[in-house]
Amino acid sequence: MRDADAAQRVQRAMSGLDRRAFLPPEQHRFADADQPLPIGHHATCSQPSTVARMLTLLDARPGQRVLDVGSGSGWTTAILAELVAPGGEVVGVELEPALVATGRANLAAVGVTAVIEPAVPGALGLPLRAPFERILVSAESRGLPHALVDQLTDGGRMVAPVGGRLVVADLTGGELTTRTLGTYRFVPLRQP
């Protein structure tokens, strides 16, 4: 039942945010297509069905602190902000300076309260702002990024593409459990 509730909340949040507002003008005509779209700087705005699946698995709730790794155009950051309202906080982190500026401008244009920070050289995620109750990773790594697991609070969850599969990692009582689902393709996760 919890998955069905999470899926409904994600669909409502996604429906309330036009993907077009997070795409370059030349991609606007494809905004409703269920496919990843280029946003420049070797990055994409992920496929809507994949975003919905990842966010449903993440199960972000009102009042939670969330880290959005690889925030890109700010679309997932904005959706997450809707999911954790009221009282939650979303911080996006992005490696490409131009996308930091674009993501911030997109969030301001749609009136969403969230923050996008530039990646810190030598650090994956935002360890100085940790811990987070939820972490969404929108770039693929070869192995589970333990530097991000270390930024989870106890009871926290991370959803990340790892080796072509989605991994859901839960930290409970200091113990990490993972499960893998489906087959997915993402841009590679790069270290700052």
For 103, other C-beta atoms within 10 Å of its C-beta total 28
Structure-block tokens of residue 184: 């997915």
C-alpha distances out from residue 61 to 28, 88, 114, 140, 188, Å: 30, 8, 15, 24, 28
Please name the residues in contact with 17: beta carbons below 8 A apart, sequence gap of 6 or more.
75, 78, 79, 82, 110, 112
**126 and 151 Cβ atoms separated by less than 8 Å:** yes
- Say which amino acid occupies 101: A
Write out the two tokens for 42: 């070797």
2, 87, 97, 114, 154 from 157: Cα distances, Å: 15, 19, 27, 20, 9
CA dist 72 and 97 (Å) reads: 10
The one catalytic residue in 15, 46, 138, 141 is 46
Active site residue 73: no
| 7 burial level (CB within 10 Å; 0-12, 13-18, 19+) | middle
Catalytic residue IDs: 46
